[in-house]
Amino acid sequence: MASTILKLISLISLINLSFASRILTTTAPATGDSQDQQLLHYHKGPLLHGKIDVNFIWYGKFKPSQRSIVADFITSLSSAPAPTSQIHHPSVAAWWKTVEKYYHLAGKRNSNSLSLNLGKQILDEKYSAGKSLSEKQIVQLASQGGHKNAINVVLTASDVTVAGFCVNRCGTHGSKSAHVNGKGSKFAYIWVGNSVTQCPGFCAWPFHQPTYGPQSPPLVAPNNDVGMDGVVMSLSGLLAGTVTNPFGNGFFQGPSEAPLEAATACTGVYAKGAYPGYAGDLLVDPTTGASYNAGGENGRKYLLPAIYDPSTSKCATLV
């Protein structure tokens, strides 16, 4: 029995170190307001700025309705959304405002200089690299997007396995050097997998019963797609980490190869009152019973992770 408990503790410890983990952890907030006392330290590197295209490489089979869930999320990040009547409040754009605070902390006063736009979408429905991918292959797929002023997002379908997927991560982000017009450049990339058939209790909680920890009934997914709603949860956190630590020398704590970042500092927290096994006091759609904390374009609803707020040294939630 003691041996079993020890193995479980070791496994949970490993998972909590992974990026975009769905397993719950708690983080002690930093005290004070000075940068030296911040939980996430600024390592003086560049943050993404200007007009950035978010390009998608859809690897495997995705329905058009699934692609629209993610596309609407990206367009919802804008501070100038569609008519208010179409947006459920609080909004995705309001969630993104916490991320923009990092630009002020870094001395970049005009945070509005960052503009994320939905870029091109590349469909790879024939599994050009097979159904079992390595990290190197993920980077190669990401390279199909833009090589300048870009975040290239690789989303893998539910029947695609990726090294480390469901073992210690739901997604990851990084950067790749490239040459544009004979000049050296870097682009950022993100990978997220659809976990619905492989590990929904790990990467799509709380819309599926958790693999480990306290067992509670799953919540209703806001877009009626457990896998894709899980993808948005991971993608949103990785996007926050990408813009605030795009090249490994921005805002983070710990080793650069396994950093604690803006969203992973608040893993498992989605609303006020959150604790291990409980996502927090979420909003509930009276018609569908779906749980959410942010509204987006076209009447969409999403569940987005809390972001570490450098101005308050706490995990910021919308509800």
Question: What percentage of the chain reaches a pLDDT higher than 90?
Answer: 71
Task: With a cut of 50, say whether residue 54 has pLDDT above it.
Answer: yes
Give 86's pLDDT tier (boundaries 50, 70, 90): low
For 184, counting Cβ atoms within 10 Å of its Cβ (0-12 exposed, 13-18 middle, 19+ buried), the class is exposed
Q: Note if the pTM is more than 0.85.
A: yes
Which helix (H) or strand (E) element contains residue 151? strand 150-156
Distance CA 100, CA 243 (A): 9
Segment 8-33, tens digit of pLDDT: 333 333 333 333 332 222 233 333 33
Residue 195 phi, psi (nearest 5): -95, 5
Instruction: Give whichever of 23-27, 88-92, 104-108, 282-286 has the largest mean pLDDT.
Output: 282-286
Strand 41-42 vs strand 251-252: parallel, antiparallel, or unpaired? antiparallel
Segment 196-219, tens digit of pLDDT: 999 999 999 999 999 888 888 999
**pLDDT value, residue 105:** 86
Task: With a cut of 90, say whether residue 275 has pLDDT above it.
Answer: yes
Distance CA 74, CA 303 (A): 14
Q: What's the mean pLDDT when you consider all of the chain?
A: 85
- Are 209 and 216 in contact, with CB atoms under 8 Å apart? yes
Give 178's pLDDT tier (boundaries 50, 70, 90): confident
What is the pLDDT averaged over residues 164-192? 88
- List, in order, residues 6 or more apart from 197 with CB less than 8 Å away: 158, 159, 227
**pLDDT value, residue 213:** 82
What is the pLDDT averaged over residues 114-128? 95
Asked if omega into 83 is within 30° of 0 (cis), the reply is no
Distance CA 196, CA 170 (A): 11
With tokens 């991320």, the residue in question is 99
**pLDDT value, residue 89:** 81
- Are 70 and 85 in contact, with CB atoms under 8 Å apart? no
Distance CA 294, CA 280 (A): 13
Which one, of 216, 206, 252, lies nearest residue 106 by Cα?
252
Distance CA 17, CA 206 (A): 19
Question: What percentage of the chain reaches a pLDDT higher than 70?
Answer: 82
Give 4's pLDDT tier (boundaries 50, 70, 90): very low
What is the three-class DSSP state of 263? coil
Burial 10-36 (b: 16+ CB within 10 A, else e): eebeebebbbbbbbbbebeebeeeeee
Q: Which ranges of the chain does DSSP label H, i.e. alpha helix? A: 2-17, 64-76, 92-105, 135-142, 200-203, 226-244
In the chain, DSSP finds a helix count (H) and a strand count (E) of: 6, 15
Distance CA 267, CA 222 (A): 20
Distance CA 162, CA 248 (A): 22
Give 60's pLDDT tier (boundaries 50, 70, 90): very high
Give 186's pLDDT tier (boundaries 50, 70, 90): confident
Which one, of 257, 268, 250, lies nearest residue 99 by Cα?
250
